[in-house]
Amino acid sequence: MFINGKWQGSTHHFAVHNPATGEKIAMVPDGGEMEIKQAINAAHTAFPGWAATTNHKRAQILYQAYELMLKHRRQLAELMTSEQGKPLRAAETEVNYGADFLLWFAEEAKRIYGETIPSSRKNQRFIVQYQPVGVVGAITPWNYPVSMITRKIAPALAAGCTVVLKPAEATPLCAVRLFELFEKAGVPSGVINLVTASNPEPVGKELCTNSQVRKLTFTGSTRVGRQLATLAAPQLKRVSMELGGHAPFIVFADANPEHAAKGATMVKFLNTGQACICPNRIFVHKGILLSFLDTFRQRISSMRVGNGKDKGVSIGPLVNRKALDKVNAQVEDAVSKGAALLCGGKRLEDRELANGFFYAPTLLSDITPDMLIYREETFGPVAAVIPFDDGDDVIAMANDTEYGLAAYVYTENLGRAMKTFEQLNFGMIGINDINPTSASAPFGGIKQSGLGREGARAGLMEYLDTKLAGIALP
């Protein structure tokens, strides 16, 4: 753990495992209430000094951290593959994406401009300034163990906030390595603090209820996000919530089915399907269904599953046994209710896969609303196709979910693309585009997918309070 600029152990430890092999790869200090309180105190004490540094100085430190991250890209990626399981190339892509937030917010730190606003009264002037909200509590997930941290810490530091981070218990090693780099980049003592813990509950509770913490930023499940927002509510603490999703992927009759199937493969199986923006319901017009399914099945079947450190592997393990069981249950439920299983559909346990949590990339068609997969987030390598035709209101079907994170549309018709974009109730819409994400673009959802945005100017505003001066002239 890293508290007030010092690396700190604990009398208790917990194990980190490689999900591809089941091997124990490290023991990590197990923090609790005492450590989280120490960390919050350190962040609280460091806040006035950090908030008073110039924006240029903060930008310089973030830029330094960006350079260090790129310099250690390979090492960070290897560590990520061993604790999280994603293939090395994907891990490197994530390190680059994570580093982008440091660069973007280093630049943006210098542009936290205020405003002057004309008043309706002759002798009055209005000035608005933006000030850091204070100590930020951050809780991050295991699926993107590097970028979900920089996406929070970079804007917080740019704004002048101090931070206490609790990373996911499955992937604390990437957080430790990142903090070593932040320390080397010159982040002053107490400005960022790291508490690793096997039991997130007491730590999360303290971050929500300690009045020294002025904002909570969370990425994880809707269930936990709701609990944390409830705990933070009595203090009217600011919260940003990046929660679950159930993305529709709509392929209209005028789309190129091969191109759409290629896109669907890439985004559905991203991180073995363990991303909140992965499509969970793939709506395909019946007129092009056969050619879409043909390409989709071929592409899915040719993906190599294995240990992410091996060359040519594009599908790694699921994170744990529970994830595997959930995927299995959804597939069995769908098949028992009449879905067509076109490939995959089983756990892979041969030879070197025996001790990992591997599931065969799976394609199901003829999915109907009574199946679990139609409503529940899958978070695994299972593509669920729902055929539709002209008589169906596919937009209403796509909107029929409690979630509202990402959605995808394939069409060659500009008017239809625009109309669909406006009618879909989701925070991010990819139009013939499977990657509507970037450090410079606002990421986030509506409905049960969350509150607030990360990345872009909007992501910085989450860490700033608006302060108004009304000035009466003589």
Question: Given the rule CB under 6 A, which residues bind ligand ADP?
Answer: 139-141, 168-169, 200-201, 204, 220-221, 224, 227-228
Are 360 and 348 in contact, with CB atoms under 8 Å apart?
A: yes
Q: Which C-beta is closer to ligand ADP: that of 221 or that of 438?
A: 221
Residue in 83, 94, 108, 242 annotated catalytic: 242
Q: Which C-beta is closer to ligand ADP: that of 108 or that of 377?
A: 377
Q: Which C-beta is closer to ligand ADP: that of 38 or that of 256?
A: 38
At a CB cut-off of 8 Å and minimum separation 6, what does 122 contact?
A: none
Q: Which C-beta is closer to ligand ADP: that of 140 or that of 265?
A: 140
* Minimum distance, C-beta of residue 134 to ligand ADP, in the bound complex (Å): 20
Q: Strand 24-29 and strand 13-17: pairing?
A: antiparallel
| Residue 242 annotated as catalytic | yes
CA–CA gap between residue 148 and residue 277 (Å, rounded): 14
* Minimum distance, C-beta of residue 309 to ligand ADP, in the bound complex (Å): 23
Residue in 161, 174, 208, 276 annotated catalytic: 276
* Minimum distance, C-beta of residue 324 to ligand ADP, in the bound complex (Å): 14
Closest chain position to ligand ADP (CB) = 204
* Minimum distance, C-beta of residue 147 to ligand ADP, in the bound complex (Å): 14
* Minimum distance, C-beta of residue 238 to ligand ADP, in the bound complex (Å): 17
CA–CA gap between residue 336 and residue 174 (Å, rounded): 40
| Residue 276 annotated as catalytic | yes
* Minimum distance, C-beta of residue 222 to ligand ADP, in the bound complex (Å): 8
* Minimum distance, C-beta of residue 14 to ligand ADP, in the bound complex (Å): 12
* Active site amino acids: 242, 276
